[in-house]
Amino acid sequence: MTATLGVRDLQRANFSIARSATGWGRSLLFSIAISALLFPTISLVAYRDDNGLIWMAVIGILFGIALWLALTPLMMAVAYVLSFFAAHMFVRNNPHAMGPITYEFSERGYAYSAPNGNGETLWTAFPKIQETRKNFLFFFVKQFATVVPKRCFPGGPAIHEFRDLLHRNYHGELRLLSKPTPD
């Protein structure tokens, strides 16, 4: 299989990486923690009786949830914009990295051949492999992944065979789509 990456492939991959790194649970806890730090100061000025502490706690939690509901879409928008600019900067600074790259997948890992060199990478080199709607991401580290677009596979059956190959041979964190999109 030969892959030639486009800017859009990198942008989608960057956004998927950013989105997976910021889970909804983590962002909710962050918002509640921020409100727990900020709201008591405001509340102590407003409430000076014994019931004020209970109301302060209740309002602080509700404010944290409201802050989360407001900040989550904003964080997603910022991640989308930053992934767009990061992809364009990567392409501008590394035009050779776009390919074409030929991959040969096997039980051990994959062999690759690119304009700047060739080699072999074992499945054990990846702590995580993730499937998105448009790509497969092979993570070397938490925030950096090799991108293999699904459009470069010869067809739907080849993608299903590749998923089966990963299930059989990859023993790290494997995140494949539970309901794969039509290929």
pLDDT tens sequence across 44-58: 555 555 556 666 667
Query: Are the beta carbons of 174 and 129 closer than 8 angstroms?
Result: yes
Tell me if the pTM is above 0.85. Answer: no
Distance of CA 41 to the CA centre of its chain: 36
Domains, the chain, ranges and CATH? 2-95 (no CATH), 97-175 (2.30.29)
Q: Return the exposure string of 34-52: e unless at least 16 CB atoms fall within 10 Å of the residue's CB, then b.
A: ebeeebeeebeeeeeeeee
Q: CA-CA distance, 122 to 57, in Å (whole number)?
A: 51
pLDDT at 154: 87
Q: Give kind and range of the element (H or E) at residue 76.
A: helix 52-93
Beta strands in the chain (DSSP E): 2-3, 101-105, 109-114, 117-122, 128-131, 135-141, 144-149, 173-175
For 2-40, what is each residue's pLDDT tens digit? 777 777 777 777 777 776 666 666 666 776 676 666 666
pLDDT beneath 50: ranges in the chain: 183
Q: CA-CA distance, 93 to 60, in Å (whole number)?
A: 46
pLDDT at 182: 55
Q: CA-CA distance, 18 to 46, in Å (whole number)?
A: 39
What is the 8-class DSSP label of residue 180? P
pLDDT at 116: 81
